[in-house]
Amino acid sequence: MTERPGDDLSSPLVPSDPTARATTAPGPAASDPTAADETVPGTAAVDAAVPRGAMLRADGVTLAYGSTVVVHDVALAVGDGGVGLIGESGSGKTTLARALLGLLRPHSGTIRYGSRDLGSLDRKGRAEFRRAVQPVFQDGSEALDPRMTVEASISEALTTHHRMDRAARRARVTSLLEDVGLDPAVAVRKPHQMSGGQRQRVAIARALAVEPRLLVLDEPTSALDVTVQARILDLLERLAAEHGLGYLLITHNLGVVDRLCDTSHVLFAGRVVESGSTRDLLTRPAHPYTLALRDAVPRLGGKPPRPSGRTEAAPAASGCPFRLRCPLATDVCRDQPPAAREVEGRRVACHRAEEVLAGVPNRPVSR
């Protein structure tokens, strides 16, 4: 593990109880059944998932481009530790991420930072929000200005909120680069002179430069080679623990959330179809979509799941949006959109969740 000369600079924004955080540090082992028992009162899974006051939360958020609704009535919260948001392309996850970052106004519903609505933040509140919540996007080459050197990019982050003289800035850039496992000599490079993994590390360093409390990670590794992915995930895991960061990890790959998130939400066609502890979702999915996602994750020597030919069917406009892809769909699914309900410690929107949990073998659609 590298020395982190930047530690003494850590701002008062970062809550200073590392011991308390250590117990909630992300890691599958931490989310055992006992923890789940404690955190599931009768309220929504969202409240259960974030016991100590969420820093960023969405309630009933609907997002639309013109008249096209892409996110329907989504609730989620991010505080300490990692929260996963799993969805495929077209699920609305990136739109939701943009709204959580304050780049997009919700059509209805609220997004709150602490106790305040993002839409009603004053100038000062907004600056504070900007410092506290930072994104890491899919592709480091997109997130970095192609005309700026690494040093200029990170310096921009450093000087946006504070005055800083040249020497202090230099020192801080060096320490940030070391922190993300880069040779400080890359400071003079431009994005196109680096590999994809290096660029993503720079993007992370830049996000950390403002000493945020929470990261919104939008597919941070999916553009990278598998081995590089693993290293970036290691890095994120370590940094989150060291800096006491909360994070929302958005991805289509369940293997990624399993490592980094205690709680996860599964998004399909703009709706959260299942949320609960990541471990539960992976070992015993209650929604057929979660099941399909999990079985699709390739594992060493495993066989690919039986192809259905329907994995790319468009979401249904009526009834359950997943029904055209669902091997369990029945008439109920066609007629009634399933409401989210509490089933065995997670929240799931499926008429047949109990059967999925019981392991009903997939059978062809009865139509």
> Residue 46 or residue 187: which is nearer to other proteins going by CB?
187
Strand-pair category, 82-86 with 263-268:
parallel
> Residue 46 or residue 232: which is nearer to other proteins going by CB?
232
211: CB partners within 8 A, 6+ apart: 9, 10, 11, 13, 14, 131, 243
Shortest approach of other proteins to residue 342 CB, angstroms? Answer: 20
Residue 188 CB neighbour total at 10 angstroms: 11
> Residue 42 or residue 302: which is nearer to other proteins going by CB?
302
Shortest approach of other proteins to residue 121 CB, angstroms? Answer: 11
Phi then psi for 156, rounded to 5 degrees? -60, -45
Distance (Å, rounded) from C-alpha 278 to C-alpha 65?
30
Shortest approach of other proteins to residue 364 CB, angstroms? Answer: 11
Cα separation values, 113 from 52, 133, 192, 364, Å: 14, 9, 35, 45
> Residue 3 or residue 147: which is nearer to other proteins going by CB?
147
Distance (Å, rounded) from C-alpha 127 to C-alpha 142?
24
Q: What is the CA radius of gyration of the chain?
A: 21
Shortest approach of other proteins to residue 164 CB, angstroms? Answer: 14
Shortest approach of other proteins to residue 253 CB, angstroms? Answer: 6
Distance (Å, rounded) from C-alpha 264 to C-alpha 82?
9
Shortest approach of other proteins to residue 47 CB, angstroms? Answer: 25
Shortest approach of other proteins to residue 212 CB, angstroms? Answer: 9
> Residue 284 or residue 347: which is nearer to other proteins going by CB?
284
DSSP one-letter code for 66: T
Distance (Å, rounded) from C-alpha 40 to C-alpha 235?
31
Asked if residue 179 lies in contact with residue 239, where contact means CB atoms within 8 angstroms, the answer is: yes
> Residue 38 or residue 142: which is nearer to other proteins going by CB?
142
> Residue 124 or residue 166: which is nearer to other proteins going by CB?
124
295: CB partners within 8 A, 6+ apart: 305
Residue 227 CB neighbour total at 10 angstroms: 9
> Residue 73 or residue 98: which is nearer to other proteins going by CB?
98
> Residue 74 or residue 260: which is nearer to other proteins going by CB?
260
Shortest approach of other proteins to residue 76 CB, angstroms? Answer: 19
DSSP one-letter code for 247: E
364: CB partners within 8 A, 6+ apart: 327
Shortest approach of other proteins to residue 233 CB, angstroms? Answer: 8
